[in-house]
Amino acid sequence: MGQYILRRLILIIPTLIGLSLLTFTISKVVPADPAKLAAGPRATPDMVETIREEYGLNDPLYVQYGRYVTNLATGDWGRSIVSRREVVEDLKHYFPATLELVLASELLAILIGVPMGIVAALHQNRWPDQLSRLIAVSFVSLPRFWFAIILQLLVVVGLGLLPLSGRLPPTVVPPDRVTGLYTIDSLLQMDLATFWTALRHLVLPAFVQSVGAMAIITRTVRGDMLEALSRDFVRTARAKGLSERKVIIRHALRNALIPTTTMIGLSFGFALGGSVLVETVFDWPGIGLYAVQSVINFDFEPIMGVTLLVGILFILLNLAVDLFYGVLDPRIRFK
Amino acid sequence: MRPLGIQVSCAQQLVSACDEVNMTRRRLLKAIGLTTATTITLPLLAACGGDSDEDGETPASGSTDDAPATGESAATPGEATEATDDDYDPEAILIFGSSVDIPNLDPAVGHDGAIAATQKAVYDTLYRHMGNPAELVPWLASGHEVTDDAIEWTFTLDERATFQDGSPVTADAVVYSLERVLTINKGVAWMFSGILSEGNVEAVDPQTVKFTLSEPFAPFLHATAWLFILNQTVVEDHAEGDDQGQGWLLSNAAGSGPFKIKRWEPGTLYEFESDPNYWRGWDNPRLKGYIHQISRESSTKRLALEQGDIHVGDYISAEDITLLQRASNIIVPDEPSIGTYTVKMNNQHGPTSDVNVRRAISYAFDYGAMLQVMEGRAVRLPGPLPPTLLGVKEDLIFYETDLDKAAEELAKSEQYKDGFDIEFAYVTGLEEERRTGLILLDQLSKLNITVTITPMEWANAVALFADPEQSPDMFPMYSSTDYPDPDNFLWQAFHSSAAGTWTGASHYSNPEVDRLLEEARSTSAWETRAGLYGEVQQIVVDEAGDLFVFNEVGGAIHSDRLRGYQYCPVMGSASFWYQTWLAKQ
C-alpha cells in the first residue's frame, strides 16, 4: 500500500506539468495584454514597456514557461502583475477562507444528506421519500445566487438570527493565525467569543454552499441503500437476528457509502476551486473570488497559482477517496 | 442638433445645496458665492456665469498665500475641535463597503479609485481637490508662484507639515517623491513624464521647491494633487535591493496624511485609524478610524446599509438605489459628478470610420431610454465635457434623438447608405452597457443597420483597443476623472497621441484638434483656454467622435449617522473621510 501511495504521489508531477502547460498555453493564446491592463488607462507606451520588461513578457514563450517552471521548483510561484504581491502569500491568505467554508459545507451536506437518503430509502415511495426528493430537486436546481439573497432576507433581515456577511464583523480582529481557519484558530486559542462569532458567520454561506452536494448525496445514498437493502447479505444479516439498526448501519449503509464517497470527494474537489457566487454574496474572501479577479485583470501568475493549487488538491483528494474505499470494504486491495 | 442651455441654474444649485442634510457652513458660503478662493478654482457661480474673484487666469499667476478657508482654518495639533456636535460618537469607526480592492498602495505604482482614496488618506499632496465643484486647496503647500509662461512653478511648504513619524516635510521629500515616480515609471508617471524629468525639480531651501517644466502645462496645479509626498528615510529603511521600497509600500505607508494603516487584510478589509496629532489638526469632530471593507454584491451592501452594518457603500445598482431612497436612515446624494459615459466609435476602421454613419448613430440613439435605464442616476451628456465642468461650451450644438435626421445623415454615405452590420462590444456582466447595446440594436434596426452585441472580457478589449483594425466598432466606456479640467477629458479621448490607450479607443485623429489642445495646454490665461476648449468640443461633436450618452449623478450613499460628508467628484476624493464623523446610534 505504501508503494501504491508513493506511485500515486509521483504521478502528481507529470499531471502538474501537463496542467501548467495547458493553462500557460491557453493564457498566452488569448488576445489580451496584461502589461497594458496593469499600466492603466492613460499609460504611455514607455510605461507599458517598463512593466513588460519587469515581468519578462517580451521573452519568447518557451523562455517564459521555462522560467516559470524553474521558479516553481524553488517554491517561487511568482508575483501578481497588478498588486506585486507574492502569489504564495496570496494563496496562503485566501485559501484558508475557502477551506473553512468548504469543510463546513461538506460537513453539513454529509450530516443532512446521508440521514435524509437513508430515511428516503427506508420509506421508499412514501411521504418521507417524496419530501426528500422534493428537497433534493429543489436544492440542486435553485440558483445559488438567488437562494443566498433570499436566505439573507429571511434569516438575517427578517429573523435577525445570523450576521449578513463576512467571516467576522469588520471591527473584530481575527485570531492569531495558525491554520487560517478562524473557527479552529479561535478554539486553539480558547477564544470562545471569537469562535462563536466566526461560527455564526459561517453558518449561512456554508449552508448555501452545501445544498448542491447535499442533494446529490441524498439521492446517491437513497439509490445505493435501496440496492444494498435488496442484496443477499442484508437478508442474511436479518436472518441471523441482527437488530434492524445494525443491519442498516453496519451492513447496508457501509456498502452504500462507496459510491457516495466518490461523490463527496468530487464535490469537495470542485468546491475547493472556490464558489464565486457564494463568496460574492457573503463577502467571503476566498480563492474563487481571487481567481476571478485575476482572470478579469489577466493576471497570469495568480491564475497559474490557483490552477496548480486546485489541481494538486484534486489529485490528493482522489487519492484519499481511493484509500478510503479500502476502509469501507477490506476486500479492496491496492497494488 | 440644438444649442446647449445651462444645465443647472445657479438658483437650482443654491436651493439644492441648502436642502442638503449634511451641508456645512463652508458649503453654504460657497453656494452663495462668498468664498473668494484665489487658487485655480471651479466656483459654482463662475460655472453659472456669475461673478467671482477669479480674474480669468488659470492657474493664478502670482502668490496664493491667501489660501481658501480649508487652508487657513486648519486647527493646530492637539487643538482639534472634536466636540462641536452633541451627537458626536468619538469611538465610532466608519465602515465603508466597497466593491473595489486596494491591490497596491504605492503612490508611484497604484492608481485607481479605491487606491487613490486610500493614498489620499495616508499621504498628503501639495494641493488637494476638495468639494463639489472641485476646488484645488493648498495642503502641504501654503502657496505657489508661477511664471507667466507657466514653465516655473515654485511652491512654499507649510511650516507645520510633518510626516506621521514626526519628521518635517521638506522640499527634499517633494523632490524625492517626484523622482521616484519618474524612475519607477508606473501609476501616475504619465502625468509628469512628458513635462518633467529628473533634475527639473529643485529644493531651493527646506521650505521651497521649484518645478521647471520642459514645456508649458497649464493644468500642472491639478497634477500636484496626484504627487503624494513620501518620507524618504522610512522608504529607504524598507527598500530591498533596487526596488525603491516598492515591496514594502504596496501595503504600508510613509506619508503625512490624516490616517494611519492599522490592519491590512488583502481582499477582505483595510483598517485605518485617525492620527490625533495630524499636522493640520481636525476641522471637524475627529473620526476614530475607518474600515474599507470589500463587499462586491450590490444587494448585500444595500441590506448592510439598511441594517447599519456599514455606513457607506459604493457601486450600488440603480435598482438597489431606488430601494435605498425609501429607507429613512439612508441618504442618497444626487450631486453633479464629472463622470461621463460615452460609446467609443472606431474612427479609423469599419462603418464608423465614416463621419456620416457616426452622425446617423448619434441622431438615432434614444437618450431618454438610456436615462430611464439609469433610473435617475444620470443626466444627459451633450458633448465630451460633463455639463457642470468649468469650460463646458454653453452654446454647444449637439444631437437629439431624431430618426429622420439620422436617415438623412446615413443617406450621405455612399458606402453605407443601404445599411450594414456593426458590432457593439461591452464588458461582460455590466448591465447598463448591455442595455446600451439593446437600445442601439433597436434604434439602428430602423435604419437597416444590424447590431451584433458581443460581451467581452475587459482584458481582451484593452488589447484590441491598441489596433484600430481590431478595435470594436462601438464600445461603451466611463471616463477617468483624474482632474476637473477640460484637458483631462479632451486630451485622453481626442488627442491623436492618446489613440490606442483605452480612453482613446475611438482612434480619433484631427490635426486641428491636436493643435487646439496643445495650445490650450501651453497657455495660462483661462479665458483663452476656455475658448480653445470650446472649439474642440464643437468639432468633436460635429464629427461625432464618440457617442456622448450620460453624465453620472454622484455622491457616496451613506447612513444618516455620517456627518460632515462633502462629495468631491475627482477620482478617489468621493471617499476621503477627513472631514467626516459619525453620530451616536
Residues B266, A280: C-beta atoms closer than 8 Å:
no
Residues A41, B296: C-beta atoms closer than 8 Å:
no
pLDDT at position A333 is 66
pLDDT digits (tens, 9 = 90+) for A154-202: 999 999 999 999 999 999 999 999 999 999 999 999 999 999 999 999 9
Residues A36, B247: C-beta atoms closer than 8 Å:
no
pLDDT at position B84 is 59
- CB contacts, 8 Å: B503 with chain A: 41-42
Residues A283, B293: C-beta atoms closer than 8 Å:
yes
Phi, psi of B296 (to 5 degrees): -95, -25
Binned at pLDDT 50, 70 and 90, residue A254 comes out as confident
Q: Is residue B412 less than 8 Å (CB to CB) from chain A?
A: no
ipTM for the predicted complex comes to 0.89
DSSP output for B411-473? HT-TTTTT-EEEEEEEETT-HHHHHHHHHHHHHHHTTTEEEEEEEE-HHHHHHHHT-TTTS-S
Cα-based angle A143, A147, A153 (whole degrees, multiple of 5)? 150
pLDDT digits (tens, 9 = 90+) for A220-232: 999 989 988 888 8
- CB contacts, 8 Å: B109 with chain A: 84
Residues A171, B291: C-beta atoms closer than 8 Å:
yes
Q: Report the C-alpha gap between B460 and B453 in whole angstroms.
A: 16
pLDDT digits (tens, 9 = 90+) for B53-80: 333 333 333 333 333 333 334 444 434 4
Mean predicted lDDT score pLDDT of chain B: 86
Cα dihedral sign for B462, B466, B470, B472? positive
pLDDT at position A274 is 65
Identify any residues that bridge with B341 across adjacent strands, giving them in sequence order: B478, B550
Report cis status (omega within 30 of 0) of the bond before B133: yes
Q: By mean pLDDT, which of A261-270, B29-38, B146-155 is the weakest?
A: B29-38
Q: Is residue B501 less than 8 Å (CB to CB) from chain A?
A: yes
Cα dihedral sign for A140, A142, A144, A148? negative
Residue B46 pLDDT exceeds 90: no
State the smallest CA–CA distance between residue B457 and chain A in angstroms.
7
State the smallest CA–CA distance between residue B506 and chain A in angstroms.
14
Give me the residues of B, 22-41, that contact A with CB < 8 A.
none
Binned at pLDDT 50, 70 and 90, residue A334 comes out as low
- Give mean pLDDT, residues B301-318: 94
Interface A-B: count of C-beta contacts within 8 A = 143
State the smallest CA–CA distance between residue A168 and chain B in angstroms.
10
Binned at pLDDT 50, 70 and 90, residue B320 comes out as very high
Q: Which of B102, B340, B501, B582 to mutate to test the interface with A (most CBs of A within 10 A)?
A: B501
Q: Is residue B304 less than 8 Å (CB to CB) from chain A?
A: yes
Residue B539 pLDDT exceeds 50: yes
pLDDT digits (tens, 9 = 90+) for B421-450: 999 999 988 889 999 999 999 999 999 999
Q: Report the C-alpha gap between A52 and A34 in whole angstroms.
A: 9
Cell numbers placing B564? 460632515
Q: Which of B266, B267, B309 sits opposite A164 (nearest CB)?
A: B309
Task: Identify which has the larger pLDDT, A153 or B502.
Answer: A153
Give me the residues of B, 309-338, that contact A with CB < 8 A.
309
Cα-based angle B165, B167, B172 (whole degrees, multiple of 5)? 125
Binned at pLDDT 50, 70 and 90, residue B50 comes out as very low
Phi, psi of B389 (to 5 degrees): -75, 140
Q: Which of A86, A162, A165 to mutate to test the interface with B (most CBs of B within 10 A)?
A: A165
Task: Give the SS3 label for residue A193.
Answer: helix
Side chain identity at residue A183, one-letter code? T
Residues A42, B464: C-beta atoms closer than 8 Å:
no
Q: Which of B95, B303, B459 sits opposite A297 (nearest CB)?
A: B459
- CB contacts, 8 Å: B460 with chain A: 30-32
Most confident of A92-96, A297-301, B74-78: A92-96
Q: Which of B270, B301, B462, B464 to mutate to test the interface with A (most CBs of A within 10 A)?
A: B462
- CB contacts, 8 Å: A87 with chain B: none
Phi, psi of B144 (to 5 degrees): -150, 160
pLDDT digits (tens, 9 = 90+) for A107-151: 999 999 999 999 999 998 899 999 999 999 998 888 888 999 999
State the smallest CA–CA distance between residue A13 and chain B in angstroms.
31
Q: Report the C-alpha gap between A327 and A320 in whole angstroms.
A: 11
pLDDT at position B72 is 39
- Residue A278's closest CA among A153, A160, A165? A165
B4-36 CB burial, b ≥16 within 10 A, e <16 = beebeebeebbeebeebebebebbeebbebebe
- Give mean pLDDT, residues B194-215: 92
pLDDT at position B7 is 35
Torsion (CA) A317, A323, A328, A329 in degrees, nearest 10? 140
Note the pTM of the prediction, 2 decimals.
0.85
Q: Which of B268, B288, B306, B571 to mutate to test the interface with A (most CBs of A within 10 A)?
A: B268
Residues A280, B93: C-beta atoms closer than 8 Å:
no
Cell numbers placing B109? 505604482
> Residue A319, class by beta-carbon neighbours within 10 Å (0-12 exposed, 13-18 middle, 19+ buried)?
middle
Q: Which of A39, A90, A285 sits opposite B294 (nearest CB)?
A: A285
Residues B267, A93: C-beta atoms closer than 8 Å:
yes
Q: Report the C-alpha gap between A179 and A183 in whole angstroms.
A: 10
pLDDT digits (tens, 9 = 90+) for A135-146: 999 988 888 889
Residues in Cβ contact with B150 at an 8 Å cutoff, skipping those fewer than 6 apart: B59, B213, B216, B217, B218, B220, B522, B523, B524
pLDDT at position B35 is 29
Phi, psi of B239 (to 5 degrees): -75, 145
Binned at pLDDT 50, 70 and 90, residue A335 comes out as low
- CB contacts, 8 Å: A85 with chain B: 103-104, 250-251, 266
Q: Is residue B246 less than 8 Å (CB to CB) from chain A?
A: yes
Residues B457, A166: C-beta atoms closer than 8 Å:
no
Q: Is residue B267 less than 8 Å (CB to CB) from chain A?
A: yes
Task: Give the SS3 label for residue B323.
Answer: helix
Residue B118 pLDDT exceeds 80: yes
Report the residue count for chain B.
585
Mean predicted lDDT score pLDDT of chain A: 89
Binned at pLDDT 50, 70 and 90, residue B227 comes out as very high
- Give mean pLDDT, residues B500-526: 92
Residues A83, B304: C-beta atoms closer than 8 Å:
no
How many beta carbons lie within 10 A of that of residue A190, not counting itself? Answer: 9
Q: Report the chain B residue with the minimal C-alpha distance to residue A43.
A: B190
pLDDT digits (tens, 9 = 90+) for B260-285: 999 999 999 999 999 999 999 998 99
Q: Which of B89, B250, B300 to mutate to test the interface with A (most CBs of A within 10 A)?
A: B300
Binned at pLDDT 50, 70 and 90, residue B4 comes out as very low
How many beta carbons lie within 10 A of that of residue B482, not counting itself? Answer: 26
Task: Identify which has the larger pLDDT, B49 or B511.
Answer: B511
pLDDT at position A84 is 86
- Give mean pLDDT, residues B285-298: 95
